[in-house]
Structure 1
Amino acid sequence: MRQLLPEWTPQWGVLLAWPDAHTDWADHLADAETCYLDILAALLDHEHVLLVCRNAHTREHIHAQVAARGIDAQRLQVVIADYNDTWARDFGPIAIRNGELTQLLDYTFTGWGGKFAADKDNALNQQLPWQLPLETHALVLEGGAIDTDGHGNLLTTRHCLRNPNRNPDLSEAELTEQLKQQLGVKDIWWLDHGELEGDDTDAHVDTLARFVDEKTLAYVQCQDTGDSHYPGLAAMEQELQSLADQHDLTLVPLALPSAQYCREGERLPATYANFLITNEKILVPIYGCDTDQQALNALQSVSGPRTVVAVNCRVLIEQHGSLHCVTMQLPQGAL
């Protein structure tokens, strides 16, 4: 009997891929490295990190940077492999429990429907030193596209999973059946509304609405009727309220961050829903804007025993992702 593991399942640690000049971070490299070091500092005091980098020179650079920051590297495992970019959420393995066994599922990653080169990212899971069985699937699926309460319910968006750039030959019924069989889910909760400007993922659910625990959903709320996001996010809020009424869920609104723009004037997909749950913490992306504290307070109110820790991820949205997008939690026994 298969079961997709929720994020709060006890973890071995987190998968990351280091930003370097061969990735899209070339123009923001110093800021990107600082952000990744902040993430490492927030993780390595209580979890392991499997950090992928491109070569031995970069590995030495990482260890020097970690030491300079005074970060304890005992739980840091750096491995050398090739990759296109650093969005570990979407090419990293998805963990399930299959009876007594924990397994890792390796889905096909196509750069969000062929928008970007992804051949090396798609091959990466096969090169990493897993201690758990790795099962490969032809289905195109990214980790950021799905979330679960751990009780057989899968939260996702039709705009992503039903997008013709993902699995065009599958009907919704066929896709649903594959997801149920492979992930061990019983019901799929489809959202039909909500998407952030500047989002390359076609509305990944991890930018919009997330389980904090089995009965709590945090979601992006827009209260400014003049904001371009208002109609879609208001409609999504109604969908979530309907789910909450049906399934006895608590909804926690997270303010849409103050509008952030790149140098070219395009709006960036800033979101507080892109948080990461670890064994002891909830790491929350912040952007240096006046809505940050409000989001931290909202998540602190439902964090239970976990400590809410802010990580400045302003640089990450320059490449249209955030904290959850660059991390993938790994279950106990993974390495």
Structure 2
Amino acid sequence: MSHDSVESDLPDSQGIARLIAAAGIHDDRDLVTRMVETAIGLGVDAPGRLDLKISTAALEEMRAAFRLFAPFSGVKKVTIFGSARTKQQDALYRQTTEVASALAAEGWMVVTGAGPGIMQAAVEGAGPDKSIGVSIRLPFEEHPDASVQEDPNVVTMKYFFTRKLMLVKESSGFICLPGGFGTLDEMFELLTLQQTGKAEPVPIVLLDAPGGTHWKGLARFVDEQLVPSGVIAPDDFERVLITDSVDAAAAEITGFWRNYDSLRWVGDLLVLRLRHEPTDDELSSLNERFGDFAVDGAIRRVEPLRAERQDDDKVLLPRLALRLEPHHVGDLFRLIGAVNALPSAV
């Protein structure tokens, strides 16, 4: 049977629509339709069985993770990365417990890889009710204590790429403790997403033990090797806070959201949504400092744009807008920091 004849036997759009309606799906039918069509198309393409198993498992894992996170959609979350091999007597373990506890006290939830070491320390600090775990099945690593493994707020995944998606997607801040290849991989992916603009700006903290030099060594490598060679911009690493202070780490995470709420691109216009509207004098000061970030040299107050109103996208918040010069994307952190430091926001 030819490929064309197989495609002619596929359910038409009305057949898929009836299937979706029979399942009781009412919201976002267009996206569900695309998923069904893609799944059928994948079968028509006749890939190898392994390809189908990977696709099926990935979708199943994402569904399980989405369901786990759904009840906490309105709660700020911080993901804590670090080594699974860190022992309880290690100063890094205590740092993790303390910073997780401090953020939980501020109403934040902690997201971890649901393993031992730093991950277990974070759960102990935040408490089981303020923790979400996204575990990975590994054949040779130790497992966390039973109290952590049996936590109902844990989902287990087979693939690192789906796990990494969920460790990043839901969080509004990140703290990395010293670790091995896995921790460095997670940290560099965070920086890559920020550098390329593929993720919205978020605070990233590299937390060390008191007096530790792990992250300072990385900073030297960046300054001495990466920046001079031109493979990264001089300010790409400035968006990261390196500290050995639990208080400073927690303050960096929470302070980033003091006034700044979110951003949205509407065409070539960047819209910053704020909690507090700046005064005329404050807006003038922002333009003096950051007006050159804008193509036309101006940061302006705006009402919710049509696209935002259509999506009911935070329409009650005050906003600033500018047409951002492309080479200033990395400077967004400076502008957000200035917005958070406005007297009207304190």
Which is richer in strand? 1
Q: State TM-score, norm by structure 1.
A: 0.28
Which is richer in helix? 2
Higher relative contact order (CA 8 A, sep 6+): 1
* Larger radius of gyration between Structure 1 and Structure 2: 2
